[in-house]
């Protein structure tokens, strides 16, 4: 995934996946990031060993809640406070948190209804803990209808019905609207023909 924003163009990031066998230790991975000049990463959920390895690395980190945590965080401010206390506060002085993501690619699902409230509760929990980190969420490309190119996309009919729930928090907190553009798969099935790119 590339994490791209209008004001920060030219600074891509990568996902740091934690599912797999024989994964290298976090300190080795962070060292590789430094060697390859990777300055932004995303964790889909907090991991203490990884966050410890990122201390004083200068690498910007987006870390997210799991989708399964969204309902409780949305409905219970104490759950949001506990999540922040356990996962962010111990690392806040040494890790450069770029953003906290409330879930990942939750559209389409019943979890969409929880995004705005989860963002609000996480934002308050961060403020109460004295941690200044924005809160956002990430959506998949299926909120965009079919188009010749992702850059020319518009919200799909299904997307339009759910996007207000997603954008509530994004607009309220004036944070990034993150989209996960797996563009490679579009080229793989010829959804975005290369001839369109070259003309």
Domain-located, residue 176: yes
Buried b or exposed e, range 111-150, using 16+ CB within 10 angstroms: bbebbbbbbbbbbebbeeeebebbbbbbbbbebbeeeeee
The pLDDT assigned to 19 comes to 85
Domain-located, residue 178: yes
Please compute, for residue 99, the number of CA atoms within 13 A of its CA located in the half-sphere on the CB side.
24
The pLDDT assigned to 105 comes to 79
Domain-located, residue 1: no
Gap between the Cα atoms of 112 and 104, Å rounded: 10
The pLDDT assigned to 24 comes to 93
CATH of the domain at 156: 3.20.20.80
Domain-located, residue 7: no
- With contact defined as beta carbons under 8 Å apart, do 133 and 150 qualify? no
Q: How many domains does the structure of the chain reveal?
A: 1
Domain-located, residue 2: no
Domain-located, residue 24: yes
The pLDDT assigned to 137 comes to 84
Mean pLDDT of residues grouped by 10 in the chain (199 residues)? 42 84 93 94 95 97 95 98 98 95 80 86 96 85 63 66 62 57 54 49
The pLDDT assigned to 106 comes to 74
**What is the domain extent for residue 54?**
14-198
The pLDDT assigned to 197 comes to 47
Domain-located, residue 140: yes
Gap between the Cα atoms of 100 and 112, Å rounded: 17
**CA-closest candidate to residue 88, choices 122, 41, 39:** 122
Beta strand segments in 34-187, E: 40-43, 60-64, 96-101, 135-136, 138-140, 178-180
The pLDDT assigned to 149 comes to 63
């Amino acid at each position: 995934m590339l994490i791209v924003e209008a004001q920060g163009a030219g600074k891509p990031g990568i996902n740091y996946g934690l599912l797999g066998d024989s994964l290298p230790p976090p300190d080795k991975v962070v060292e590789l990031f430094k060697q390859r000049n990777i300055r932004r990463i995303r964790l889909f959920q907090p991991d203490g060993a990884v966050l410890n390895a990122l201390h004083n690395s200068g690498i910007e980190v987006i870390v997210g809640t799991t989708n399964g945590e969204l309902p409780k965080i949305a409905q219970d401010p104490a759950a949001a406070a506990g999540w922040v206390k356990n996962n962010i506060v111990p690392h806040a002085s040494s890790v450069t948190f770029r953003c906290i993501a409330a879930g990942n690619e939750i559209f389409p699902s019943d979890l969409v209804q929880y995004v705005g409230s989860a963002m609000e509760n996480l934002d308050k929990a961060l403020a109460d803990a004295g941690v200044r980190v924005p809160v956002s969420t990430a959506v998949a490309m299926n909120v965009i209808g079919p188009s010749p190119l992702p850059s020319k996309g518009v919200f799909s009919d299904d997307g339009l019905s759910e996007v207000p729930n997603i954008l509530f928090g994004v607009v309220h907190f004036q944070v990034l609207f993150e989209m996960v553009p797996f563009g490679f798969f579009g080229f793989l099935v010829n959804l975005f023909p290369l001839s369109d790119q070259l003309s």
